[in-house]
C-alpha cells in the first residue's frame, strides 16, 4: 500500500531552496513568565481574536488588527464576565454579522452563549440551562443567517440548537435522544443545503438505539434524520472531522471489521475509502485536531499504520489509492496534526527525530518537508491552531526563549524584503543594513543605520529557520556596527535577521559561507 518513503537527500535539497520563501516570527511575548497560551484563533471584522493569559487578567479575549501587537479586548476583564479566568473557561467561537458568539463561563450562570461586538460588555443570548447549570454550547457554525450549535438543557439534554439573530430567537431543533438524555451533537457541517453531524438517539441496548452515528438536519422541512447506522445497533461509529470537498462529505468513522477509517457520502451512498490498518484496528488518528483535510485532489490525514507508527497519509480521489507519503522513521511517529491549507500548500505540525514537533508543509509536487524550526533543536515548537489572517498564517507555538506558548505568524518573503504591511512599515523604511563580506569566511560585519532610537539584535539562522548565532540586544540611535563570528559554520547559505525586542523582523539578508 505504501509508496517509497521520501528520499532524504532530495528532501534536503528541496528544503534548501524552498524554506527561503517564508519567515516565522513571534507576534508578541504576551506573558514572558509562563506563556500566554493562545487558543481558538478566530477572524472577525478585520481582526484576529483569541483567548490568552497575559499574566494579569487571566484567560481573556485579545485581538490583533493588521499585524499589530495583541491587545486586551474592551469590557472582558472582569471576573463577572469571564468566570475564574482559567484556561478551561474558553471554547471555540462563532461569527455572524461581524460579531463574536462565545461560550462564556460566568459566575452563577454557568457556561452559556454570549454575543460580543468587541466594544461593549458581552450580552447573553439565552440562559439555556437556567441558574448555575451550563448549556456548554459547542460546534458553533453559521449557515443561512442563523447559528447552529450543541447545547444542554434540563429538559432535552444535549441536542441541536439554533439562534436566529434577526428574530432574536433561540430554540432546540429536535430531541433526538428523548427527554433529558443527551444526543451528543458534534462536528456540525453544511453539505448541499443540509446540516450533517454526529448524534445519538441512545447508546444502550434499547431496541432502535444507534449509538453515535451520522445524522442530518434539513432546514427546509425542519426535520432531523439518521443518515446511516455505520456500526449497526447501539454501538457507535463515532463520525469525526466532517469535511466537505469535491462535492462530497468526508469523515472518519469506525465499524467492527475495519476499525477507524475514512468515509465519503455523496448525498445518497456512504462508502468506506481506506483500510490503512487492515482489520479492526484503528487506521486513522483524529485527536489533537488531526482531522482529514482536502488539498489538491487528495484527502490528507494522520495514518495509524499496521506497525502503530502514525505518519502522513494520503487518499487520492482520482486513483482511489491510499499511500503513506512521509515516514518519520522505523518506530517513530510523525503524528501530523492541525492541517491547514494556506498559500496553495498544506501546512501541519509534524515530528522528526532531529527537531521534535515543528512546522511542516506539503505542496503539489514535492515530498513533505520541515519549513521552520520554531524552537531550535530537539525541544518541540508544537505549532497548532493554524489560522489565516491578513496574508499570514497565525498559530500558537512554544518559543525558543522560555519554552512557553505564545502567538506566532508566518508570512511570505521576497528577496530581502519582508511582505508584512504592519505598524513596522515606517520603521523599516528608516533602516538600512549592509552586510560584508558576503560571501564570508570568518567575521561577518553588519553595518546598521536607523533614523529612530530602537533596540535591535541580529540573528543568524540556517535555511530552515533554525537559529545558530545571535548578538546581544543593543539600543541603536543612528548607526551601529555588529560582528558575527562565522568561522565554525559549515559552507552553505544562511539568513541574517535584524529583529526588534518583540522578535519581529526588520530586515533580512541572505548570507553565503565559503
List the beta strands (DSSP E) in 66-156. Answer: 71-72, 94-96, 99-106, 110-116, 123-126, 138-143, 146-153
With vertex at residue 292, the alpha carbon angle to CA 290 and CA 294, rounded to the nearest 5 degrees, is 135
275-278: Cβ within 8 A, 24+ apart: 275/322, 276/1, 276/303, 276/304, 276/305, 276/313, 276/322, 277/303, 277/304, 277/305, 277/306, 278/306
Give residue 253's pLDDT.
97
C-alpha to C-alpha distance for 105 and 97, rounded to whole angstroms: 23
The pLDDT value recorded for residue 135 is 94
Residue 391 near residue 33, CB atoms below 8 Å: no
Place of cell 483500510: 275
Q: How far apart are CA 496 and CA 306, in angstroms?
A: 44
At residue 15, the pLDDT reads 47
88-120 residues labelled b (16+ CB within 10 A) or e (exposed): ebbbbbbbbeebbbbbbbbeebbbbbbbbbbee
Instruction: Report the CATH number at residue 462.
Output: 2.60.40.1930
In a domain, residue 496? The reply is yes
Question: Does any domain span residue 28?
Answer: no
What's the sign of the alpha-carbon dihedral 128, 132, 133, 134? positive
Residues 1-53 have pLDDT tens digits of 434 333 333 343 344 445 557 889 899 888 888 889 999 999 999 999 999 98
Query: Is residue 243 a contact partner of residue 219, using CB atoms and an 8 Å limit?
Result: no
Determine, yes or no, domain membership for 342: no
pLDDT, residue 415, reads: 44
Structure confidence at residue 17 (pLDDT): 44
Strand 345-352 versus strand 337-342 pairing type: antiparallel
- 450 in any annotated domain: yes
Contact 418, 411 (CB under 8 A): yes
Task: Give Cβ neighbours of residue 74 (< 8 Å, ≥ 6 apart).
Answer: 118, 119, 120
Is 155 part of a structural domain of the chain? no
Which helix H or strand E contains 403, and what residues bound it? none
This prediction's pTM: 0.79
Q: How many CB atoms lie within 10 A of CB 87?
A: 12
**CA–CA gap between residue 107 and residue 81 (Å, rounded):** 8
Neighbours of 307 (CB within 10 A): 10
Q: What does DSSP assign to residue 33?
A: T
Cβ neighbourhood burial of 400 (10 Å; 0-12, 13-18, 19+):
middle
Mean per-residue pLDDT of the chain:
86
Decide if 463 is inside a domain: yes
Place of cell 458568539: 101
Angstrom CA distances, 285 to 101, 265, 337, stand at 30, 20, 9
Contact (Cβ atoms closer than 8 angstroms) between residue 264 and residue 243: no
Q: Specify the pLDDT at position 9.
A: 34
Q: Using an 8 Å Cβ cutoff, are 42 and 52 in contact?
A: no
Q: Tell me, what's the pLDDT at 448?
A: 87
* Angle CA 23–27–28, to nearest 5: 145
For residue 482, list its beta bridge partners: 446
- Domain span at residue 455 reads 425-513
Task: Please give the pLDDT value at position 81.
Answer: 56
Q: Point out the residues of the chain with pLDDT beneath 50.
A: 1-17, 84-85, 87-88, 415-424
Question: For residue 247, what are the contacts with CB-CB under 8 A and spacing of at least 6?
Answer: 266
CB burial class (10 A; 0-12, 13-18, 19+) of residue 378?
Answer: exposed
The total number of structural domains that make up the chain: 1
Residue 455 covered by a domain? yes
Q: Is residue 270 part of a domain?
A: no
Amino acid at each position: 500500500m505504501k509508496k517509497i518513503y521520501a528520499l532524504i537527500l532530495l528532501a534536503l535539497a528541496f528544503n534548501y531552496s524552498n524554506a527561503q520563501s517564508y519567515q516565522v516570527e513571534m507576534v508578541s511575548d504576551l506573558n514572558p513568565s509562563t506563556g500566554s497560551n493562545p487558543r481558538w484563533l478566530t477572524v472577525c471584522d478585520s481582526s484576529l481574536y483569541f483567548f490568552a493569559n497575559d499574566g494579569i487578567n487571566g484567560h481573556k479575549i485579545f485581538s490583533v488588527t493588521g499585524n499589530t501587537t495583541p491587545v486586551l479586548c474592551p469590557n472582558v476583564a472582569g471576573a463577572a464576565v469571564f468566570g475564574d479566568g482559567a484556561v478551561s473557561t474558553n471554547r471555540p467561537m462563532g461569527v455572524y454579522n461581524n460579531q463574536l458568539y462565545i461560550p462564556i463561563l460566568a459566575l452563577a450562570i454557568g457556561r452559556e452563549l454570549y454575543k460580543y461586538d468587541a466594544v461593549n460588555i458581552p450580552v447573553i443570548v439565552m440562559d439555556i440551562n437556567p441558574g448555575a447549570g451550563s448549556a456548554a454550547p459547542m460546534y458553533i457554525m453559521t449557515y443561512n443567517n442563523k447559528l447552529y450549535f450543541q447545547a444542554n438543557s434540563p429538559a432535552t439534554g444535549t441536542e441541536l440548537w439554533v439562534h436566529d439573530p434577526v428574530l432574536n430567537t433561540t430554540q432546540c431543533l429536535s430531541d433526538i435522544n428523548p427527554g433529558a438524555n443527551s444526543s451528543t451533537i458534534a462536528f456540525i457541517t453544511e453539505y448541499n443545503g443540509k446540516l450533517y453531524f454526529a448524534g445519538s438517539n441512545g447508546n444502550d441496548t434499547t431496541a432502535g438505539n444507534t449509538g453515535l452515528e451520522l445524522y442530518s438536519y434539513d432546514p427546509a422541512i425542519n426535520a432531523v434524520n439518521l443518515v446511516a447506522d455505520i456500526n449497526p445497533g447501539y454501538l457507535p461509529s463515532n463520525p469525526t472531522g466532517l469535511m466537505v470537498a469535491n462535492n462530497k462529505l468526508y469523515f472518519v468513522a469506525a465499524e467492527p471489521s475495519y476499525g477507524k477509517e475514512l468515509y465519503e457520502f455523496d448525498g445518497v451512498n456512504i462508502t468506506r475509502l481506506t483500510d490503512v490498518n487492515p482489520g479492526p484496528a484503528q487506521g486513522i488518528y483524529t485527536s489533537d485536531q488531526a482531522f482529514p483535510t482536502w488539498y489538491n485532489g487528495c484527502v490528507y490525514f494522520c495514518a495509524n499504520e499496521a506497525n502503530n507508527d502514525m505518519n502522513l497519509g494520503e487518499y487520492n480521489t482520482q486513483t482511489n489509492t491510499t499511500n503513506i507519503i512521509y515516514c518519520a522513521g522505523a518506530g517513530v511517529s510523525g503524528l501530523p496534526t492541525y492541517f491547514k491549507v494556506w498559500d496553495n500548500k498544506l501546512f501541519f505540525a509534524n515530528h522528526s527525530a532531529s527537531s521534535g514537533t515543528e512546522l511542516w508543509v506539503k505542496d503539489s509536487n514535492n515530498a513533505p518537508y520541515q519549513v521552520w524550526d520554531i524552537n531550535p533543536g530537539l525541544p518541540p515548537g508544537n505549532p497548532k491552531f493554524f489560522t489565516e489572517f491578513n496574508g499570514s498564517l497565525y498559530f500558537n507555538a512554544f518559543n525558543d526563549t522560555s519554552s512557553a506558548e505564545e502567538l506566532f505568524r508566518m508570512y511570505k518573503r521576497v528577496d530581502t524584503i519582508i511582505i508584512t504591511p504592519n505598524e513596522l512599515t515606517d520603521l523599516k523604511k528608516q533602516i538600512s543594513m549592509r552586510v560584508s563580506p558576503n560571501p564570508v569566511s570568518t567575521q561577518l560585519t553588519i553595518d546598521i543605520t536607523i533614523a529612530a532610537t530602537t533596540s535591535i539584535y541580529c540573528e543568524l539562522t540556517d535555511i530552515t529557520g533554525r537559529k545558530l548565532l545571535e548578538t546581544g540586544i543593543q539600543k541603536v540611535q543612528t548607526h551601529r556596527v555588529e560582528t558575527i563570528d562565522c568561522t565554525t559554520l559549515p559552507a552553505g547559505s544562511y539568513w541574517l535577521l535584524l529583529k526588534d525586542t518583540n522578535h519581529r523582523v526588520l530586515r533580512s539578508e541572505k548570507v553565503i559561507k565559503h
